Amino acid sequence: MMKVQNRITLHFILQLILYSVFVIIALLTLVFILIGRMTNEEMKQNVPVGALQAVTSEALYENGSITLNKYWDSFLVKHQLWLQIINSNGKVIHTINKPDDVPEQYNLKELREIKEQHAYGSYFIESELDLFEAEPLLYLIGYKSPLRQQLLQWYNAYEQNGRPDETAITALEDELNQIGGYLTIINHEGKKLYTIGKEADNDSNELKPLELLAIQDRNGDHSGQITMHVSDDGLNTWILHKDRDMNSYVKQPIFSDIIRSFGIAAIAILALSLLLSFWLGYRYSQPLILFAGWFNRMESGNYDEVLTAKDKRKVFRRNGKLRTRYRLYREAIHNFYEMAQRLAQTEKDRQRLERSREQWMSGISHDLRTPLSTIQGYAYILEQSPEQWSKDELQEMGRMIREKGDFMLELITDFSYINQLKQTDALAGARPIELNRLVRHAIIKYVNDATLTGVDFQYEDDEADAVIIQGNELWLLRLMDNLIFNAIKHNAPGITITTTVEKKEHSASISVADNGQGMDSDTQAMLFERYYRGTNSEESSSGSGLGMSIAKMIVEAHHGNITVKSQINQGTIITVRFPLSQTN
């Protein structure tokens, strides 16, 4: 039982662990999906910046060279980007999709302008400095922007001392209107000096320092809506807007997506948990429902129907093995099944014993009533008119009363023997007994009985080899009396009774054989049942019918067995076998 409890406990612990692992994996998967989505969204909003961050984190620097996934070759070409990785000496050590007008070596001034202006020539430049390698590395991603090229073209055509030529403002405004944009020129303090073209309504007259930095950082916006260029003297900044102004830029609501995604995930996990709960409830309730049905049928006493044909199909496969859902309770099911079979067999045995007891009591009542009726009849006759009977008739009546009394005494004595064999140990006081001597002594008593006529006794054994068993001498003598008397009583005069004692390898045997009338198969089958006296109606009042039953009980108490072999008109052989004593 402890084994079943341990396995069920371990099973449910494993179920809980698996469910916890499932939830953790689901949450980790959700986190990775959200991280990937955030990365993708960021890359969608600003492809160069997102690509630069990804390349910086993935690149492996070893022995002066860079190892990078080939995926980035096609990605950069597809998005018209180029990549350079520069070491601490300003030398390019790795490049992808580089234009011809971009150098392989940079000096300090060029690198500073790239960091400050996010540009090199006509290219926008996104840069990131990696300080986590063995030496500092600078990552550059560049790309051309038609809007920046347009701004540089206008700057070169209309710039005068860092400001637009007053005579060309009208022409510049016309060109701005054609592309749907406007130009803002601010000084180093962020104050607007010029606004050329149709300006957005919410533009203020002054840009704050952080707003300028935001514009500078957003030069790489792949949508190309805002770009800027610092004048050669560094005092003024030209900012070109197209279709929208700086303040219309709205970032992706990542936290809203996170909340929404976690909400969806929570609902999905809850739904899966409910489905799992229903499945587990169904799986573990089925055996319990089955047990409840078994208990109900057992309560009704239907032990043979505890496992119906339908239940057997549910529990067992065609090959006799348990189905998967019931394997957790296999010991309980097998024990329950065996208990039901034992109870069914016990009920059958009880009913058989009840029928045997009724038959036995009915026979005993009949046999007690018959002699009592005889005794009562003769007593009534003697009571009414004793003087009418002669001496011989009175002697005959006395003899009949004595015989019936002897029969009743024999019946009561047999009851006493049966009770002793059931209540006490027949081997109490057992000792080694020489079976040859005991059997000879039992036979001599009948040979010397002058009342027995027409019976010839014979005895056979190996006198040179003593046969010794462990037993109770009084009960063994009673056994021999029952076997010999049974042969005498059920045969006509003129029979021969042969008794044989033999010693075999591990056992000793006694055979009592006669050449009398024999018995049929039905009588042989019932010979050792209590209160059975055969099918001969003429012998219905002879004997108690318990002799052979007592003989069997004595033999079994001595750990032996008794068998009968007989044929009609060919005699009967009753054989008893006992285990040999250790002293043999």
What integer pLDDT is reported at residue 248 of this predicted model? 37
What integer pLDDT is reported at residue 516 of this predicted model? 92
Three-state secondary structure string covering 494-524:
CEEEEEEEEECCCEEEEEEEECCCCCCHHHH
Take residue 202 and report the two structure tokens written for it. Answer: 């919410």
Q: Which residue has the higher pLDDT, 336 or 127?
A: 127
What integer pLDDT is reported at residue 360 of this predicted model? 66
C-alpha dihedral (23, 26, 29, 33), degrees to nearest 10: -130
Mean pLDDT of 38-45: 61
Query: Beta strand 226-230 with 163-164: parallel, antiparallel or unpaired?
Result: unpaired
How do residues 342-382 score in pLDDT, each as one tens digit? 887 888 888 887 887 776 677 667 667 777 888 888 888 88
Residue 1 reports pLDDT greater than 80 = no
Give the model's confidence band at 246: pLDDT under 50 very low, under 70 low, under 90 confident, else very high.
very low
Q: How far apart are CA 534 and CA 566, in angstroms?
A: 13
Q: CA separation (Å) from 129 to 110, 122, 137?
A: 15, 22, 6
Task: Identify the top-confidence range among 75-84, 158-167, 415-424, 463-472.
Answer: 75-84
Mean pLDDT of 525-532: 73
323 DSSP assignment? P
CATH of domain 146-248: 3.30.450
The overall longest dimension of the chain from CA atoms, in Å, is: 182
- CATH superfamily, domain 425-579, is Histidine kinase-like ATPase, C-terminal domain (3.30.565.10)
Domain boundaries, the chain: 47-144, 146-248, 255-352, 425-579
* Entry pTM: 0.40
Mean pLDDT of 313-329: 75
How do residues 86-107 score in pLDDT, each as one tens digit? 998 999 999 999 999 899 999 9
What integer pLDDT is reported at residue 215 of this predicted model? 60
Of 187, 216, 25, which is closest to residue 127 (Cα–Cα)?
216
Yes or no: say if 77 and 59 are a contact pair by the CB < 8 Å rule. Answer: no
The H or E element spanning position 375 is helix 330-384
How do residues 70-82 score in pLDDT, each as one tens digit? 989 998 998 889 9
What integer pLDDT is reported at residue 240 of this predicted model? 84
Yes or no: say if 428 and 472 are a contact pair by the CB < 8 Å rule. Answer: yes
How do residues 492-506 score in pLDDT, each as one tens digit? 899 999 999 999 888
How do residues 554-584 score in pLDDT, each as one tens digit? 898 889 999 999 999 999 999 999 999 876 6
Least confident piece of the model among 85-89, 329-333, 394-398: 329-333
Of 436, 499, 440, which is closest to residue 464 (Cα–Cα)?
436
Yes or no: say if 148 and 122 are a contact pair by the CB < 8 Å rule. Answer: yes
How do residues 188-204 score in pLDDT, each as one tens digit? 777 888 888 876 544 55
Give the model's confidence band at 222: pLDDT under 50 very low, under 70 low, under 90 confident, else very high.
very low
How do residues 247-285 score in pLDDT, each as one tens digit? 433 344 445 666 777 778 778 877 877 787 777 777 767
Class of the domain covering 47-144: alpha beta
Q: How far apart are CA 190 and CA 125, in angstroms?
A: 23
Take residue 314 and report the two structure tokens written for it. Answer: 């549910």
Least confident piece of the model among 13-17, 398-402, 570-574: 13-17
Task: Evaluate whether 47-144 and 146-248 have a shared fold.
Answer: yes
